[in-house]
Amino acid sequence: MSVEPIQAIAGVIGLFTLYLLKRYLSNGRPAHLRLPPGPKGLPIIGNLLDVPVEDEYKVFSAWQKKYGDVISLTVLGKPLIILNSPKAAQDMLNKKSSIYSSRPHYTMACDLVGWKDVLVLLPYGDRLRAYRRMIHQVIGTRASVDKFNGTIEGEAQICVRRMLKDPDNFVGPVRKGVGAIILMISHGYKVDTENDPLVTIADEATDQLGVLLSPGNFLVDLIPALRFLPKWFPWATFHKQADEWRNTLFDMTDKSYEVVKKQTANGTAVPNFVTNLLEGDNITEAEEFEIKWAASSLYSGGADTPVSAMSSFFLAMTMYPNVQKKAQAEIDRVVGKDRLPSFSDRDQLPYISTMIKEIIRWGPTTPLGAPHCLEEDDVYDGHFIPKGSTVLANIWHYLHDPEVYPEPNVFNPDRLIASEGKPAQRDPYEMCFGYGRRSCPGNQLADSLMFIFICTILAVYDIEKVSVNGVVQEPKHEFTSGVLVRPKPFKTTIRPRSEKALALINAVEI
């Protein structure tokens, strides 16, 4: 090995050692204040060995009994704060949103792949406010989302038609339908083929983001100096993966934007997020950059979570057939059996709306919420919260707290309905969409997608357990780990409820 690579490696190791010593010896904590309680770490590496690699939200929830509502850890000198009560999340992330609204920096995702320009990882500032303002104009209210009801209804109907081809696979048709809706809203892009290349690229990019944000997947996130290793170095295989994923991200962003520009030029563009914002002759290069990446943010942030939530819906209906029958009875009573549901039926289907909230509570898609980064030192409940802390709201714990939701693992929409002598349990929507200035800007769209897809599916299909060699396969209330979770693989199948339902399905044109 030549002298230059040895010097490069020695330099990286030296810089990292100095960085750890600085973090370990100087945390800036006032002498009379302590960090919130938490597991006792080791010198230098802190709680690196304590951080769970799976079922993180359940582990943090279990720690609440031992350490309380606010828990602290340090990982290689970086503070991590877990909020195990909605009150703490409200007090810190909402009431002090001005200092809790930034994002942690991920070297792999932000610097090497390029997600730093997308809303989910954008630091708090003028650009983030501009993105959120743009998105709010398009999908920030029920009235604004209602403008896309025709598109959403149409894709839900196409979804049930696609399901007929493969009754054991519900994820594919749902994902195609949700992706088509988001691309139509964001870019006015009409998906015409089963394997549309733009949908495929976008799905790949959002899948990659989930991997990028999962703790511990990339050593370069723990040791940022590793990014300076040459690409040929054996420890630097992450560079090759970053280059490939960067191409996917920029393909999703640039190709979808070029579609809009081309449609606008030839006069075929339909109203959408991008065209609405490009109106006028005085759009600067900086404004065009923001519009392009805000549109990409809309897709990457809105396409995956409804699909994960719909997976929880199929699991719940498989495990709780009596709830399914109750929901179908309401649909039959309001809609009848001669047509498919529409948004005009929404106000007359209260049980369906309540069931959606219970789905979100029972199987939250983002159990630790979006990570917040503290921009200046803070004190909460007598404890010191240092600047630069990553702060996570353990939403899974809030939605599964047995003191708030008795038998939390049981799927029971009735728990959210008040009756004589029995008040409704807390509305999950108060917690599930996040906190402060990083709360989900697409909650209205997500709710509408869930409503019409669930109504349309239940109107024409029964969702049933699968029997293998005469043995019924019983699904379990089990979910994956990571930033965006979904049910662990389970068996279910669907079948048309009747000949009339089958006729309604076949009448849908793809």
Write out the chain's pLDDT in tens, 510 residues.
444 444 555 555 555 555 554 454 445 566 568 999 999 989 888 888 888 888 899 999 999 999 999 999 998 888 999 999 999 999 999 999 999 999 888 999 999 999 999 988 888 888 889 889 989 988 989 999 999 999 999 999 999 999 998 888 888 899 889 988 998 998 888 877 767 788 888 888 888 888 888 777 888 988 888 999 888 888 788 999 999 999 999 998 998 888 888 887 787 777 788 888 887 667 788 888 888 999 988 887 777 788 899 999 999 999 999 999 999 999 999 999 999 999 999 999 999 999 999 999 999 888 888 889 999 999 999 999 999 999 999 999 999 999 999 999 999 999 999 988 899 999 999 999 999 988 888 899 999 999 999 999 999 999 999 988 888 899 999 998 877 889 999 999 999 999 999 999 999 987
CA angle 362, 367, 372 (to 5 degrees): 150
Residues 169, 71: Cα–Cα separation, whole Å: 41
> Is residue 32 included in any domain, yes or no?
yes
Residue 151 lies in a domain: yes
| Contacts (Cβ under 8 Å, ≥6 apart) of 107 | 218, 220, 221, 224, 227
pLDDT at 271: 79
The CB density around residue 463, as the number of other CB atoms within 10 Å, is: 22
Structural domain includes residue 138? yes
| Domain span including residue 15 | 6-506
How much is the pLDDT for 267? 77
45 in a domain, yes or no? yes
Domain with 406 in it: what CATH number?
1.10.630.10
What is the C-alpha separation between 464 and 413, in angstroms, rounded? 19
Into how many domains does the chain fold?
Answer: 1
Tokens 């204040």 found at: 33
Which CA distances in Å does 5 have to 12, 14, 236, 241, 242? 11, 14, 13, 21, 21
Whether 234 is in a domain gets the answer yes
d(CA 286, CA 464): 52
- For residues 367 and 379, give the distance between their C-alpha atoms in angstroms, rounded to a whole number: 25
Which stretch of DSSP H or E encloses residue 75? strand 70-75
Question: Exposed, middle or buried by CB within 10 Å (0-12, 13-18, 19+), for 292?
Answer: buried
The continuous run of DSSP H or E covering 5 comes out as: helix 3-25
- Is residue 1 in some structural domain? no
- Is 321 within a domain? yes
pTM of the model: 0.89
pLDDT of residue 447: 95
**DSSP-derived pairing of the beta strands 78-83 and 390-393:** parallel
pLDDT digits (tens, 9 = 90+) for 419-438: 888 999 999 999 999 999 88
At residue 11, the pLDDT reads: 53
Distances (CA, A) of 373 to 4, 27, 93, 431: 37, 16, 10, 19
Amino acid at 65: K
Q: Which residues contact 335 (CB under 8 A, 6 or more apart)?
A: 341, 345, 455, 459
Q: Are 386 and 28 in contact (CB under 8 A)?
A: yes
Residue 305: is it exposed, middle or buried by C-beta count within 10 angstroms (0-12/13-18/19+)?
buried
d(CA 490, CA 475): 6
HEC assignment per residue over 457-475: HHHHEEEECEEECCEEECC
Coarse DSSP helix, strand, coil percentages of the chain, rounded to the nearest 5 percent? 55, 10, 35
d(CA 394, CA 411): 20
Give 116-162 pLDDT, tens digit per residue.
Answer: 999 888 888 888 898 899 899 889 899 999 999 999 999 999 999 99
CA proximity to 224, closest of 15, 6, 8: 15
